[in-house]
Amino acid sequence: MVHELKHLIAVGRRLALGKSAEESCIEEASAMAAQQLAGLGTELRLVQPYASGCLATPQAFRVVYPEPSSRQEERICTYGYNFLLVWRVAQLMGHDNFWRSWLDGPSTGISNVEAHTGIPFAELMMDWAATLRLDHANAIAGYDYDTFNLRDGTWQALGTSPLESGVSGTARSMAYFTGRGLGGDARITLSVTNGALPHAVVLRLPAVLP
């Protein structure tokens, strides 16, 4: 009921103001955030199942699209995986500040997120990518979720691939690679084949993450 009531309030207010409804990938995620704010989310394990597929294979899924995806697995992840994105963004800005002004727009999707944060979406994605990897790992301060723990056994472990020479693959939004250092310098070269501008976060840690 909390989830659907959030939709009614949010969409109704936006339409009353002459604005378009929020894009599906953000609207469903923020309705899950409403459940979390009401104490009816991760505490009852009502979010975790919706994030499992994307957490296991993040490279296989998109995050942003205006309309519901034609792929069932991606539609499911809109609820849970994208919740992890919008919750992190709201946490950075302060939940009271972020959610109170969210309904009024001024736009939708990426533009709306940037308008309410003042931060380029690429930077928010890189922060989120690091948070998914570092949450409650006691490795680098500032990357823990505030009301839940991705390492508490209720969440699907984040899928990673070996970082090796010549490794390649497809990333629909982002992909994770992990390697073990040999005590010397290292160089990582990233290239793409579709002409898009790549973004990367490189974490050098003194020990293997739990």
pLDDT of the residue at 166: 84
Q: Which of 4-13, 95-104, 115-124, 125-134 has the lowest mean pLDDT?
A: 95-104
Q: How does the average pLDDT of the chain come out, rounded?
A: 91
Q: Which two tokens stand for residue 99?
A: 């959610």
Q: Grade residue 160 by pLDDT with cuts at 50, 70 and 90.
A: very high
pLDDT digits (tens, 9 = 90+) for 87-98: 999 999 999 888
Contacts of 142 (CB under 8 A, 6+ apart): none
Picking from 106, 137, 113, the residue whose alpha carbon sits closest to that of residue 33 is 113
CB distance 104 to 15 below 8 Å? no
The Cα 69–Cα 202 span in angstroms is: 30
162, β-bridge pairs: 178
The Cα 14–Cα 103 span in angstroms is: 7
pLDDT digits (tens, 9 = 90+) for 180-209: 888 788 788 888 887 777 888 888 888 777
The structure's pTM equals 0.93
pLDDT digits (tens, 9 = 90+) for 57-68: 999 999 988 777
Residue, of 186 and 44, whose pLDDT is higher: 44
pLDDT of the residue at 126: 95
Longest Cα–Cα distance of the chain, Å, equals 61
pLDDT digits (tens, 9 = 90+) for 23-38: 999 999 999 999 999 9
**What share of the chain has pLDDT > 70, as a percent?**
100
